[in-house]
Amino acid sequence: MLEVIIISSIKVLTVVIVVLTCCAYSTLLERKLVAYMQHRLGPIYAGPWGLLQPIADAIKLMFKEDLVPDRVERTLYTLAPILSFVPSLLVFAVVPFSSDFTLFGYDVTGVISDLNIGVLWVFMITGFGVYGVVLAGWSSGSKWSLLGGIRSSAQMISYELSYGLSIVGVILLANTLSMTEIVGQQDSIFSWYIFRQPLGFILFFTCAVAETNRAPFDMAEAESELVGGYHTEYSSMRFASFFVGEYANMLAASAVAATLFLGGWQGPLLPPIVWMMLKVFFGMFIFIWLRGTLPRFRYDQLMNFGWKVLFPLALLNTMVTGLIVMLTNGTN
Partner 1 sequence: MNLDTVIFFAAAVVAVFGATMMIAQKNPIASALYLILSLVAQAILYVQLGGLFLGSILIVVYAGAIMVLFLFVIMLLNLRSSDDLGPPPPALGRFTKYAFGILLSVELIVIVKAARMPSKATGVLGFPVEDFGSVKAVSTQMFTTYVYPLELTGILMLIAVVGAVVIAKKENNAQVSDDSGSDRPAKKQVS
- Nearest-CA neighbor of 217 among 168, 256, 164, 163? 163
Nearer to partner 1, 47 or 312 (CB): 312
Got the DSSP string for 189-234?
A: GGG-HHHH-HHHHHHHHHHHHHHTT-TTS-TTT-HHHHTTGGGTT-
Nearer to partner 1, 117 or 290 (CB): 117
Nearer to partner 1, 153 or 317 (CB): 153
Q: Helix (H, G, I), strand (E, B), or coil: what is residue 106?
A: strand
Burial of 236 (0-12, 13-18, 19+ CB in 10 A): middle
Q: How far is the CB of 75 from partner 1 (least distance, A)?
A: 8
Q: How far is the CB of 150 from partner 1 (least distance, A)?
A: 5
Amino acid code (one letter) for 211: E
Q: How far is the CB of 314 from partner 1 (least distance, A)?
A: 15
Q: Helix (H, G, I), strand (E, B), or coil: what is residue 125?
A: helix
Nearer to partner 1, 226 or 280 (CB): 226
Q: How far is the CB of 275 from partner 1 (least distance, A)?
A: 29
Q: How far is the CB of 140 from partner 1 (least distance, A)?
A: 12
Binding site for partner 1 (CB under 8 A): 73, 76, 116-117, 120-121, 123-124, 126-128, 130-131, 134-135, 137-138, 146, 149-150, 153-154, 156-157, 160, 164, 177
Q: 73-78: long-range contacts at Cβ-Cβ below 8 A with a sequence spacing of 24 or more?
A: 73/138, 73/139, 73/141, 75/139, 76/135, 76/138, 76/139, 77/136, 77/139, 77/140, 77/233, 78/238
Nearer to partner 1, 13 or 124 (CB): 124
Q: Which helix (H) or strand (E) holds 104?
A: none
Q: How far is the CB of 256 from partner 1 (least distance, A)?
A: 15
Nearer to partner 1, 288 or 302 (CB): 302
Report phi then psi at 325, rounded to 5. Answer: -60, -40
